A = this chain, B = another copy of it.
Amino acid sequence: MEKITIKKDLFCLPWTQTILGTHLEGNVNFMALDWLTRVNYQPPMLGICVNRNNASSTAILDTQEFSVNVPNEDMVEITDYTGIVSGKSVDKSDLFPVFYGELKAAPMITSCPLTMECKLVKTVELPTNNFFIGEIINIYTEEQFLTDGKPDVKKIKPFLLTMPDNQFWSIGKNVGKAWSQGVAMRDRLNKGQKA
């Protein structure tokens, strides 16, 4: 079928929904955060994209620390709320019970099944956003979210955001095993068989 072009911000890669935790002028603050990724393998680093005008951007530049919190499906409403009111005008410090790890300005949300505390290592200034690269100092979870000692996505129950339809989605069914199904294909190709 014919290819067509669409508006350049109209694309719906699903992003995992997280909540960014910072200290804004000494006060705990939170913001819904969708644009983030691993940016380095060793040591493990996360990169997060924050609008330069957001209070969270000021907070990170000030303290050089932040947390990334992964809410579960039961936290959709409160997560969305953190993204629609600004820390400049609304005090969000009482929204969640928090705990701290090694860092002083990376408040983590106790009710989130998975949380990370990060230390800023680099800020990339882009036209409308700051891209903050942080080294993951520690990851926190609970025994109930592990299977064989590893985080289990079906127990953690994160959710996803797609834009521009602005819908939240759960994780669906298993559709395969990575670094496994491709091995079988490689072996067939090596034997001169069809892919």
Interface residues of A (CB under 8 A from B): 1-16, 18, 35-45, 47, 49, 51, 70, 73, 76-85, 95, 99, 101, 110, 114, 116, 122, 124, 126-129, 131, 133, 136, 138-144, 146-147, 149-153, 156, 158-186, 195
Q: Which residues of B contact A151 (CB under 8 A)?
A: 6, 10-12
Are A51 and B41 also in contact (CB < 8 A) when A12-B153, A142-B4 are? Answer: yes
Which residues of chain B have C-beta atoms less than 8 A from A14's C-beta?
14, 16, 153, 158, 160, 171
**A18 to B11 Cα, complex, angstroms:** 13
Quick check: A37 and B12 within 8 Å, CB to CB? no
A138: B residues at CB distance < 8 A: 5, 8
Q: Assess whether B3 is in contact with A178, with CB atoms less than 8 Å apart.
A: no
Complex-state Cα separation, A174 to B104, whole angstroms: 36
How far does the alpha carbon of A99 sit from the alpha carbon of B70 in the complex, in Å?
Answer: 38
- Supply 8 A–B pairs (Cβ within 8 Å), ascending by A: A3-B110, A10-B151, A11-B116, A13-B18, A14-B153, A81-B186, A150-B164, A168-B174
In the bound complex, residues from chain B placing their C-beta under 8 Å from that of A85 are 182, 186
Shortest Cβ distance from residue A49 to the other chain B in the assembled complex, whole angstroms: 5
